[in-house]
A = this chain, B = another copy of it.
Amino acid sequence: MIDFRKAQELVLQRAKSFGTETVPLGQAAGRVLAETVRADRDYPPFDRASMDGFAIRYGDVEKGMRRFVIVETLLAGYVPQQAIAEGECYKIMTGAAVPGSADTVIRRENAEEKNGVIELPELPVEALPAATFPAPVDPRFPWRPFQNIARKGEDLRSGEVVIDRACVCTPPVMGLLATLGHINLKVERLPSIGLLTTGDEVVPAGDAVSPVQIRNSNRWLLESALKNAGAPVVAWDHAPDDPALIRQRIEAFADKDILICCGGVSAGDADYVPGVLEAMGAERLFHKVAMRPGKPVWCGVSKEGKIIFALPGNPFSCLVNMTLLIAPFLRACYGLPPAEPLGLAMGAPRKKRSPLDEFFPVFVSGSPARLTPVTLNGSGDIRLGRQANALALHPANEDDLAEGAMVACYSFV
């Protein structure tokens, strides 16, 4: 029986990309970018006014001028008609390009405008908003060159690498790609996943159920967890506890990139899944991980080199294996760095229940953030779903956890 970290390592060693494909921006949200993205031009692409106000020549205020004639109003997107000369200014709006003839933007509220002319009052330096005004270069007056101007290229230079590694297309990344005009994206191809639930006692959720049967919940739990993890289940099937039928169903999934089985992996008389997989020539990476719940998990690689996860059938076990093995495997296949657990403090004590690494559901909340264990009555308890928002680790080598103890916290997928 191996440690869960060792199990993760063995699984991650088998991670590889499922190839790439090109999708339009409108279909890229949530996908993983698989190409280097460079700036197509400088950003900002021009000297950009970051405030509404007046664009002047700094040299003029140095010479003592405080009165300027407005020669033109510049809105965002507009090209100026003329350059300004001494004593002239532009009225300029946030987002507009500051013409080369100007080099300083005075905020609208810091000037008096009347009949096409502005006057700059002799404001004390302290009266000006510190935010856009770190320190005047000349102690005699509060303005400085290029104030309230985002300089062309100060964020990015044309040709500069903006994204150089695998990266999820989150909302800000989507905005970034659109900004750069990057509208056809090379992304990681999604694997096709075949999901096989097993068990004589399991009936479809919509069917009549006898007193000794249970409904198939893992299909729905795993399908939605895999969807959240960025890899949809494309084919689902169910097999009774019959080695021949299990084999037949698995063979029907031969064209899938990933096989996930659920149920029948322990040491009971009807736990045929690992045996069937090994009889089919799959190489076992491990069977059983020293953790609770989820211990009976089997993991291997088919003759064709495809990864197979065979999970124990109780729902919480599925969720633990999904969080610890399958989601990290998918991230690694996509080239993403591991999602490291966060260290957070326990909001209540917790008793040790076994000599294994124990994962328990928690609700993360508060300030400072604390973990509240969600009490379950065994790993088959269906209450889990209502309350927990993450999974925490009670390590094998630690005794009871005291309130305030720091533990590793894994987000649910």
Contacts and interface: CB of A to CB of B under 8 A. Distances in A.
Interface of A: 25, 29-30, 43-46, 48, 50, 52, 73, 75-79, 91, 93-97, 108, 129-131, 150, 154-156, 162-163, 167, 169-183, 199-202, 205-206, 209-225, 227-228, 241, 266-271, 292, 313, 315, 318-319, 322, 340-345, 353-354, 364-369, 377-378, 380-386, 388, 406, 408-409, 412-413
B366 A343 contact: yes
B93 A175 contact: no
Contacts of A367: 341-343, 406, 408
Contacts of A177: 205, 220
Contact of A174 (B94, B172, B224): B224
Contacts of A364: 342
A132 B338 CA distance: 34
Chain B CB within 10 A, most for which of A201, A212, A221, A340? A212
A305 to B, nearest CB: 28
Contact of A29 (B215, B227, B266, B383): B227
A215 B179 contact: yes
A146 B368 CA distance: 42
A211 B75 CA distance: 14
Contact of A183 (B45, B206, B223): B206
A217 to B, nearest CB: 4
Contacts of A222: 171
Contacts of A95: 199, 201, 214, 313
A80 to B, nearest CB: 9
22 contacts: A29-B223, A29-B227, A30-B224, A43-B382, A44-B380, A52-B267, A75-B270, A95-B201, A108-B267, A155-B377, A162-B383, A170-B412, A171-B322, A174-B220, A176-B384, A179-B215, A179-B315, A180-B382, A181-B215, A183-B205, A183-B206, A343-B368
Given A171-B319, A181-B215, A343-B366, 14 more contacts: A75-B241, A77-B202, A96-B212, A150-B380, A169-B224, A171-B228, A172-B384, A172-B388, A175-B220, A178-B216, A183-B206, A342-B364, A343-B367, A345-B368
A176 B218 CA distance: 9
A93 B220 CA distance: 24
A380 to B, nearest CB: 6
Contact of A176 (B45, B178, B268, B386): B386
Contact of A382 (B179, B218, B365): B179
B75 A171 contact: no
Nearest to A229: B171
Contacts of A315: 172, 175-176, 179
Given A97-B212, A205-B183, A382-B155, A269 B172 contact: no
A354 B130 contact: yes
B381 A155 contact: yes
A365 B342 contact: yes
A221 B174 contact: yes
Contacts of A173: 385-386
Contacts of A199: 76-77, 95
Nearest to A365: B340
Contacts of A181: 205-206, 209, 215
A48 to B, nearest CB: 7
B77 A201 contact: yes
Contact of A221 (B78, B130, B178, B183): B178
Contacts of A108: 267
Contact of A268 (B93, B380, B381): B93
Contacts of A97: 211-212
A174 B354 CA distance: 29
The 9 lowest CB-CB distance pairs between A and B, nearest first, are A343-B367, A77-B201, A172-B385, A175-B221, A93-B268, A76-B201, A171-B225, A29-B224, A77-B200
A25 B343 contact: no
